[in-house]
Structure 1
Amino acid sequence: MVVERVLVTGSTGTTGRLLANLLRGRGTEVAAATRRVERAGQVRFDWSDPASFTPALDGVDAAYVVAPTDRVDQLPVMRPLFELAAERLPGAIVLLSAASLPPGGPMMGAAHAWLRDHAPRWAVLRPSWFMQNFTGQYLPSIIGEGRLYSATGDGRVPFIDAADIAAVAAAALLTPEAVSGELVLTGPEALTYDQAASAIAKAIGRPVQHYRLSVEALAQRYRSFGLPADYADLLAGMDGAIAQGSEDRITTTVDDVTGRPPTSLAAFLAENRKSFISKTS
C-alpha cells in the first residue's frame, strides 16, 4: 500500500521532529500532533482528552505513537487511541518504546503487548538510550560541573542517535509489509558511562567525569528536578538494571533496515560539538 499521510505524535520531540522531516522529504504528508494548533499541518491531540483522538486520525494512513511521559501506567491512556487506529488505519501503528522494556513489562511494555495481541499492522521500536541525552538532560551538569551522573556503575550501553531511530520509524511506517514487529535498536558499540564521559571530554576539550550514584541517590536527584516519585524511581531503577548488564548488547537492525550503519558516539559528538562549546566558551 502507499502511505500518503502519517500522524506523528510527539511531533516536536526528539524523534518525532526528525521523523516528520524525513517523511516530508519523502513526499509523505505529516499530521503533526500538538496540544495547540498554530500552523498548517498540525492537528490537535492531547492524551488527556480522548475526544481529540478521532479527529487526529481523520485521513491518516499510519501513526507514530510516543507515549505520555507524565505517568508509568501508559496503556489505560493509550488504549483508546490504539483501538481507533487498529480499526481505522490501513497502515501500521508504530510505537516508540525502549530496549529495557519488554512486551508486557512496565510503562510502554504493556502498550507493546497490546499492539502485538490486537493490532493487524504494527511495529514497536525498542531503542537503547539516546545520544541526545548528552546534549539534553545531561547537558547542565556536563557544562556546569564537568560531571555525568548515573547509577550505571560499569554497565555498558549501546547509545543510539535519534536520527537512526527516526530512519527506522520512517521505514516501518512507509513499508509495514517489510518492517514490522519488535525492533531492538542500538548504536554500533556498547560503552560504559566512564567511556562516554571520556568521549565527551575529548570532543569538547575539557574534563568530564562520570560521577557514580546509588540507585536511590539518583532517584532523589530526579525527584529534586520535579519528576513524580514513581517515575523517578523507575528511571533510576533502569540505571540499576544497566549496572547489571541489561543494555549490554548490539543489534544490526539499523543497518538491516536502512542500509547504513548506525552513528557512533564519537561522530555524534563531533557533529554536535557546538551544543557544548557555545555554552562553555
Structure 2
Amino acid sequence: MSKILVIGANGTVGTELVRLLSDQGHDVVRTTSRAPATAQDVHLNLVTGEGLAAAFAGVEAAFLLSPPGYTNQNELLNPVIDQAVASGVQKIVLMTAMGANADEAAPLRKVERHLEKSGLAYTIIRPNWFMQNFHTFWIQGILEQGKILLPVGKAKGSFIDARDIAAVAASLLTRNDLDNQEFDLTGGEALDHDEAAALLSNATGRTIVYEEVSEGAMVAQLLAAGLPQDYAHFLITILGFFKAGYSEAITPAVEAITGAKPRTFAAYAQDFKDAWKV
C-alpha cells in the first residue's frame, strides 16, 4: 500500500482517481481548497502555495494537474514539483493536455519540462477533450436550446471519457515500467459535433443538434458563465486548434496502459443521459 497525493481530487478526473486508488487499498490524500472535511483531506491553495509542504508529508507518489480557470500553469505547478522533490516523493503523474508539447513557450509545456528536469520518476499524460464537457461546460445551450454551441466547424475530435483518464493515472501511479514517458490519451473514435449531438439525442430521446457560433459569441458566453477573460480567450484559442483538425488523432495509449478499450461516446451518453433531460 502506498500513500498517494491527488491534487484536484474533487475534479472530473480526480474524483474517479481517488475511488480507484482507494478500492486498490492505497492511502489516498486528497487536496481541497476548502477546510478539510475528513482525515483524507488536506488544505492546499495552489495560487498562494499555502499548505504545500503539509500536503506532501509522507507521500510516495502524486497526481498533479492545474486547476481550471488559470493560464499561468507553470507558475502554479512548478513550485509543487519542487516541493515534491524536497519532500522525497518518488514519482509524479502529471496531466496536461493533448498538444501541450507543440509550443515550448506554452505554460503547460514549461511544467512538463520542469518535471522532466526534476530528477523525479514521472509520467506525463495529455488527454484530448473530455466527453464530460458535454454535461458541464457545454450543458447550458443543450438544456436551454437543445443545441451544442461551439465555434469548431465540422472538425472531428477523439473525445475521451474522464473515467478512462483516471484509470490510466491509477495504473501509472502504481507501476514503474512506464516511468519517464509521455502519452497522448484519446478515445477510440473521432466524431464531429453533429455526430456527438446525434448520440446525445439517441440517449436522451430529445432532439439535440450542433450549431456553429462565432468566436465572439463564444467569448461572450464564457464570460457570462463567470470565466476570467484571459481564460475565456485561452479556451477560444484551443477551440481554434480543434477546428483546425488537431484533435482528430486517435492513439492506442488507453488500452495499452489499462488493458481495456476506451469508452465510446455512445456509452458515455447513456451513462449520463439524465444530465441533459429537461
Q: 1:61 to 1:155 in 2, by over 3 A?
A: same
| Aligned residue number for residue 149 of structure 1 | 149
Alignment map for 1:12-161 (pairs within 5 Å): 12-35=10-33, 36-102=35-101, 104-161=104-161
Taking the aligned partners of 1:261 and 1:166, their CA distance within structure 2 comes to 14
TM-superposed CA distance for 1:65, in Å, is: 1.0
Taking the aligned partners of 1:86 and 1:149, their CA distance within structure 2 comes to 43
Structure 1 stretch displaced more, 22-31 or 221-230 = 221-230
RMSD: 1.6
Structure 1 stretch displaced more, 20-29 or 192-201 = 192-201
User: Contact 1:47 / 1:78 at 8 angstroms: preserved in 2?
Assistant: yes
Identical counterparts, % of pairs: 30
Structure 1 stretch displaced more, 260-269 or 130-139 = 130-139
User: Contact 2:8 / 2:14 at 8 angstroms: preserved in 1?
Assistant: yes
Taking the aligned partners of 1:11 and 1:28, their CA distance within structure 2 comes to 14
Listed one character per residue, the Cα deviations across residues 69-110 of structure 1 (whole Å, up to 9, x for unaligned) are: 232111122221111213434431111111132263524222
Structure 1 stretch displaced more, 236-245 or 65-74 = 65-74
TM-superposed CA distance for 1:180, in Å, is: 4.2
User: Contact 1:159 / 1:186 at 8 angstroms: preserved in 2?
Assistant: yes
The DSSP-based 3-state class of the residue aligned with 2:5 is strand
User: Contact 1:62 / 1:90 at 8 angstroms: preserved in 2?
Assistant: yes
Structure 1 stretch displaced more, 241-250 or 113-122 = 113-122
Amino acid at match of 2:96: S
User: Contact 2:121 / 2:179 at 8 angstroms: preserved in 1?
Assistant: no
| Aligned residue number for residue 194 of structure 1 | 194
Taking the aligned partners of 1:62 and 1:215, their CA distance within structure 2 comes to 40
Amino acid at match of 1:20: V
Q: 1:102 to 1:215 in 2, by over 3 A?
A: farther
| Aligned residue number for residue 171 of structure 1 | 171
Amino acid at match of 1:66: L
Q: Find out whether 1:222 has 2:230 as its counterpart.
A: no
TM-superposed CA distance for 1:149, in Å, is: 1.0
Structure 1 stretch displaced more, 20-29 or 48-57 = 48-57
Taking the aligned partners of 2:178 and 2:61, their CA distance within structure 1 comes to 15
The DSSP-based 3-state class of the residue aligned with 2:84 is helix
Aligned length: 276
Normalising by structure 1, report the TM-score: 0.93
The DSSP-based 3-state class of the residue aligned with 2:124 is strand
Normalising by structure 2, report the TM-score: 0.94
TM-superposed CA distance for 1:25, in Å, is: 0.5
